[in-house]
């Protein structure tokens, strides 16, 4: 077995690579890494995996020969590497995962990803190609709970270019490369780690703190949010990558109806962890039209000077929160995956690991 991982220097790819190494697959791993040389690339991988790996020996056992230099922005650069033809399993986590209008989103997430899938479809011994998408590829016009379906709705009905790009990559791979042994995994909202909190990443968690600090948001406190920790996502991806036979080729990795939380439950647990009063009846549900007038007050409370960034964050994440989406996860559970930990059960750990960290620093994981 030879496992190629793209995106091992990111949050989800790194957590899954760490889990695979801990499960005894370290020697079988190959990493596609953006770097000047293999030694530098290996150090980037090790540095990221240290966020969730406590056994340094596992990291030191990795070698430069396990690093392929390249990225999905230029597939031709590494397409001739003979090690690709020895790969049996691919975990494709690489993407420009930014909610800003990043110029590389389409070239990497669509053009490069499809080119990479075409190259790997030529590998005779390829058993499985797990492509990590996003549950929000479903767009904005779906009825919750969202079912696992290849029908993704209106191409333009997306709040951010990132989710639209992930939907388009899926469409093109499935349409143009039918010979690829494709399995698509669509994680819902990945926030923190069930044991390590936000020490692995502050992505998305700052949104909940922002809403609490400004006293409200664009959703109702009784709306639900489908959140999973990154370690659960990694466990699910390892299962989908290595299980000999799967019943489907498309899975949500999500909390689903039973293990999602309401914003009320999350805010209450966060308040207790922070030692502050829960918002309760003081919660203010505001509309998008109110954002420009509210930004100066938000600046004062949040300590963030960038007015444009605050307005963008409130509009984008507020828009997502209003969707009140839950993502059906029965397929994954039917494969033997246990249900996830509720976000409200580990949110105190996320609070603890972000104490003293300015909100702007936390936001940078999502606005690269």
- CA dist 260 and 104 (Å) reads 33
pLDDT higher than threshold 70 for residue 217: yes
Same-domain status, 99 and 40? yes
pLDDT of residue 154: 58
pLDDT higher than threshold 80 for residue 214: yes
> How many CB atoms within 10 Å of residue 151?
7
pLDDT of residue 194: 96
Same-domain status, 247 and 301? no
pLDDT of residue 147: 92
Model confidence over 295-304: pLDDT tens digits?
787 777 777 7
Same-domain status, 59 and 112? yes
Residues 223-244 have a mean pLDDT of: 97
**Signed CA dihedral, 33, 34, 37, 41: sign only:** negative
Same-domain status, 51 and 129? yes
Same-domain status, 243 and 282? no
Residues 166-189 have a mean pLDDT of: 96
Model confidence over 85-135: pLDDT tens digits?
999 999 999 998 876 677 888 899 999 999 999 999 999 999 999 999 999
pLDDT of residue 332: 98
- CA dist 88 and 97 (Å) reads 26
pLDDT higher than threshold 80 for residue 250: yes
Those residues whose C-beta lies under 8 Å from the C-beta of residue 291, and which sit 6 or more positions away, are 311, 314, 315, 318
Identify the CA nearest to 70 among candidates 115, 101, 102.
115
Same-domain status, 177 and 272? no
- CA dist 100 and 275 (Å) reads 33
Quote the domain boundaries for residue 209: 191-225+260-325+342-368
pLDDT higher than threshold 70 for residue 249: yes
22 vs 138, which has greater pLDDT? 22
HEC sequence for 181-228: CEEEEEECEECCECCCECCCCCCCHHHHHHHHHHCEECCCCCCEECEE
pLDDT of residue 256: 96
Same-domain status, 94 and 84? yes
Percent of the chain beyond pLDDT 70? 98
Those residues whose C-beta lies under 8 Å from the C-beta of residue 181, and which sit 6 or more positions away, are 126, 127, 128, 129
Lowest mean pLDDT among 44-48, 73-77, 136-140: 136-140
pLDDT of residue 191: 96
Residues 155-159 have a mean pLDDT of: 70
Model confidence over 192-209: pLDDT tens digits?
999 999 999 999 999 999
Residues 242-256 have a mean pLDDT of: 97
- Residue 316: which pLDDT band, with cuts at 50, 70 and 90? confident
Q: Which residue bears the tokens 């490069």? A: 112
Instruction: Quote the distance between the C-alpha of residue 354 and its chain's center.
Output: 19
Task: Look up residue 305 and give its two tokens.
Answer: 């000077």
- CA dist 136 and 153 (Å) reads 11
Same-domain status, 22 and 107? yes
**Signed CA dihedral, 12, 7, 85, 73: sign only:** positive
Half-sphere exposure of 351 (CA within 13 A, CB side): 22
Lowest mean pLDDT among 56-60, 66-70, 83-87, 136-140: 136-140
pLDDT of residue 156: 63
Residues 230-239 have a mean pLDDT of: 98
Same-domain status, 304 and 230? no
> ω before 145 within 30° of 0 (cis)?
yes
pLDDT higher than threshold 90 for residue 238: yes
Taking each helix axis from N to C end, the angle separating 205-214 and 343-352, rounded to the nearest 10 degrees, works out to 80
pLDDT of residue 155: 59
Identify the CA nearest to 97 among candidates 89, 83, 87, 108.
108
- CA dist 231 and 19 (Å) reads 8
pLDDT of residue 313: 79
Residues 40-53 have a mean pLDDT of: 94
Same-domain status, 23 and 103? yes
Residues 169-183 have a mean pLDDT of: 96
| Residues paired with residue 182 on neighbouring β-strands, in sequence order | 129
Lowest mean pLDDT among 107-111, 161-165, 233-237: 161-165
| CATH number, domain with residue 158 | 3.40.50.720
pLDDT of residue 248: 97
Average pLDDT, the chain: 91
pLDDT of residue 153: 64
pLDDT of residue 8: 96
Task: Look up residue 272 and give its two tokens.
Answer: 């207790």
Ramachandran quadrant class, 350 (left: phi over 0; alpha: psi -120 to 50; beta: rest): alpha
Count how many domains the chain has.
2
- Mapped onto helix, strand or coil, the DSSP state of residue 152 is coil
pLDDT higher than threshold 80 for residue 366: no
Residues 168-189 have a mean pLDDT of: 96
Those residues whose C-beta lies under 8 Å from the C-beta of residue 268, and which sit 6 or more positions away, are 278, 344
Does pTM surpass 0.75? yes
Dihedral of the alpha carbons of 131, 133, 139, 142, in degrees to the nearest 10? 80
Model confidence over 12-38: pLDDT tens digits?
999 999 999 999 999 999 999 999 999
Same-domain status, 255 and 271? no
Helices (H), the chain: 11-20, 38-49, 56-60, 105-106, 113-121, 161-176, 205-214, 230-242, 256-259, 263-274, 291-302, 307-323, 330-334, 343-352, 359-363
Same-domain status, 21 and 120? yes
């Amino acid at each position: 077995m030879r496992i190629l991982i793209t995106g091992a220097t990111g949050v989800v790819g790194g957590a899954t690579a760490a889990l695979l190494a801990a499960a005894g697959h370290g020697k079988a791993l190959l990493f596609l890494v953006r770097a000047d040389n293999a030694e530098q690339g290996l150090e980037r991988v090790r540095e990221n995996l240290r966020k969730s790996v406590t056994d340094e020996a596992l990291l030191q056992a990795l070698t430069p020969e396990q690093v392929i230099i390249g990225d999905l922005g230029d597939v031709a650069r590494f397409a001739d590497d003979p090690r690709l033809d020895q790969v049996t399993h691919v975990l494709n986590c690489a993407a420009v995962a930014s909610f800003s209008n990043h110029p590389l989103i389409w070239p990497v997430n669509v053009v490069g990803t499809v080119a990479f899938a075409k190259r790997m479809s030529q590998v005779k011994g390829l058993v499985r190609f797990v492509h990590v998408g996003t549950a929000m590829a479903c767009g904005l016009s779906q009825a919750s709970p969202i079912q696992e379906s290849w029908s993704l709705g209106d191409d333009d009905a997306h709040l951010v270019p990132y989710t639209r790009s992930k939907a388009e990559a899926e469409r093109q791979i499935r349409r143009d490369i039918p010979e690829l042994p494709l399995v698509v995994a669509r994680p819902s909202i990945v926030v923190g780690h069930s044991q390590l909190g936000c020490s692995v990443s502050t992505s998305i968690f700052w949104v909940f703190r922002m809403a609490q600090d400004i006293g409200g948001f664009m959703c109702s406190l009784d709306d639900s949010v489908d959140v999973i920790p990154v370690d659960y996502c990694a466990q699910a991806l390892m299962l989908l990558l290595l299980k000999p036979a799967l019943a489907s080729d498309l899975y949500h990795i999500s909390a689903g109806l039973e293990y999602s939380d309401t914003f009320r439950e999350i805010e209450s647990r966060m308040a207790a962890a922070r030692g502050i009063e829960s918002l309760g009846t003081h919660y203010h549900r505001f509309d998008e039209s109110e954002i420009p007038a509210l930004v100066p007050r938000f600046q004062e409370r949040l300590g963030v000077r960038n007015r444009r960034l605050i307005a963008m964050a409130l509009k984008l994440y507020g828009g997502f929160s209003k969707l009140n989406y839950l993502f059906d996860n029965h397929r994954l559970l039917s494969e033997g995956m246990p249900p996830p930990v509720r976000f409200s059960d580990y949110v105190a750990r996320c609070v603890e690991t972000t104490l003293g960290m300015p909100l702007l620093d936390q936001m940078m994981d999502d606005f690269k």
